[in-house]
Amino acid sequence: MHPFIQTLKLIASPTKFLDECAVKYGDIFTVRVLGINSPPVVFFSNPEAIAECFAIPANKLNFKKATHVFKPLFGANSIVLKEGKEHNRQRNLLMPPFHGDRMKSYGETICEITTEVTKDWQAGKVISMQHVMPDITLQIILQVVFGISPGERYQQLKKLLSVLLDDITTPWYSSLFFFPPLQQDFGRFSPWGNYLRRKQQIDNLVYAEIGERRKANDISRTDILSLLLSAQDENGEKMTDEELKDQLISLLLLGYETTAGVLSWLFYLIYSQPQVRNNLIQELETLGENSNPTQITQLPYLSAVCQETMRLHPIALICTPRMTKETVEIAGNKFMSGTVLVPCIYLAHRRSETYPEPDNFIPERFLNHKFSPVEYLPFGGGYRGCIGSAFSMYEMKLVLANILSQFQLELIDNQPVKPVRRGITIVPSGGVQMRVQTKIPAKNLVHS
């Protein structure tokens, strides 16, 4: 198949494209999908091959060349495009706020934001989970990254980010990212010109926040922007405004639509299987009122439901693509320098050898068995694995538990949904429309 057609197929219906390739070619296959004159791109779904891929030392791989499609979105200074020492440094800087006690300190905030966003849900109200969930997760990530609550700048950011993500979801708009020759600014009515102007509006809002924070110089704050503002490299240099802006936008984009997408899948899957929902409610009732966030997030069935949701419908289909700088061997195959290697999360999660009945939603499989990090990898793995994995698991469990214990809901339409692309994530088609049946009075899961 011509590289252009392969790329369009991957953009327009990625899961179908991957399923077809796996049926035709098995668990290691090569396609050409990174634009015109693209290098060979090899997808792996076999756990041993994925393990070998993760084990290749970073100095034998080039990440920038394989992730160039993200540059216009995240910016050249984003952690996603960094390599070697600098990448390591950024990870070490950004990881702590998303783990351990720092992460747990957000438990009550997560529950408060969820309660606030859902406060006007009354019996009969119709809700689109695809709209409400990003509202919750964006507020949460803004608290973590900027330490700010909703205000005018927040509202503007939310609107601009959401519209931009809607647009880059269309096959035509996304093609612009894959084919650099189409990236021509012919004024605001041209597609790329329009993209650049809207991205600039987002950048300006972030620059304004950075400017204010530099001026205020408040050393008591613990959010990520404050951390980055005081960080220095080994030569004592601080980050420029542009570096800060790229890092912050990357965290915003990677940190809210992803968790919101999983939450939409969770509501769809839980409410299309009444037994799963009943089991969850029963488990939540064992906690009683005023439990703490840690108790909630440790519930085994709730954890299994979240894990199985991300197995069946991983929000990111692939790990970060990596280009070889020299010949490497994986699963007995030699790959020449210049080959792009892609551990494929989606196909690894659909292997019947690992997961019997792979197309069915069976949370119990996570109660009875522990899968290895190369069999189950919704957050990728190795030295490029997601830095927000623990945080988003913590967050999604609290948001879900909070809503389940406050409302009885129903799906408006019982038709099966399809996985569709939204920006860089794969979400349920149709937005998951639900109706509030009852509001359960004065139930407060978390003690504040």
Residues making contact with ligand HEM (CB under 6 A):
79-80, 91, 98, 250-251, 254-255, 258-259, 262, 315-316, 319-320, 378-382, 384-388, 391-392
- Give the separation between CA 173 and CA 247, rounded to whole angstroms: 23
Residues 6+ apart with CB under 8 A from 351: 27, 45, 46, 358, 375
Taking the complex as a whole, how short is the minimal distance between the CB of residue 10 and ligand HEM, in angstroms? 16
Please provide the DSSP assignment of 303-371 as one string: HHHHHHHHHHS-SSSBPPPEEESS-EEETTEEE-TTPEEEEBHHHHTT-TTTSSSTTS--TTHHHH---
* Closest CB to ligand HEM among residues 14, 381: 381
For 177, 214, 430, the CA distances from 281, given in Å and listed in that order, are 44, 47, 26
Other beta carbons within 10 Å of 77: 21
Closer to ligand HEM by Cβ: residue 249 or 417:
249
DSSP 8-state code for residue 98: G
Output the smallest distance, CB 49 to ligand HEM, in A.
14
Longest dimension (CA), the chain: 63
How near is the Cβ of 131 to ligand HEM at its closest, in Å? 18
By beta-carbon proximity to ligand HEM, the closer residue of 104 and 439 is: 104
Rank residues 8 and 306 by Cβ distance to ligand HEM and give the closer one: 306
| Residue number, 110 or 319, with CB nearest to ligand HEM | 319
The nearest distance, CB 228 to ligand HEM, in angstroms, is 13
The least distance separating ligand HEM from the CB of residue 58, rounded to whole angstroms, comes to 10
Least distance between ligand HEM and beta carbon 191 (Å): 27
Helices (H) then strands (E): counts for the chain: 19, 12
24-53: b or e for each residue (b if 16 or more CB lie within 10 Å)? eeebbbbbbbbbeebbbbbbbbbbebbbbb
In whole angstroms, the minimum distance from the beta carbon of 356 to ligand HEM comes to 24
Q: In whole angstroms, how close is the CB of 172 to ligand HEM at the nearest point?
A: 25
CB-wise, 381 or 430, nearer to ligand HEM? 381
**How many CB atoms within 10 Å of residue 447?**
11
Supply the minimum distance, in Å, between the C-beta of residue 127 and ligand HEM.
20
Which run of H or of E encompasses 85? Answer: helix 84-94
Question: Are 417 and 430 in contact, with CB atoms under 8 Å apart?
Answer: yes
Is 42 within 8 Å of 52 (Cβ atoms)?
A: no
Judging by beta carbons within 10 Å of its beta carbon (0-12, 13-18, 19+), is residue 243 exposed, middle or buried? middle
CB 163 within 8 A of CB 195: no
DSSP 209-265: HHHHHHHH--TT--SHHHHHHH-B-TTSPBPPHHHHHHHHHHHHHHHHHHHHHHHHH
Which residue's CB is nearer to ligand HEM, number 8 or number 27?
27
In the complex with ligand HEM, the residue whose CB is nearer, 105 or 184, is: 105
Nearest to ligand HEM of 284, 344 (CB atom): 344
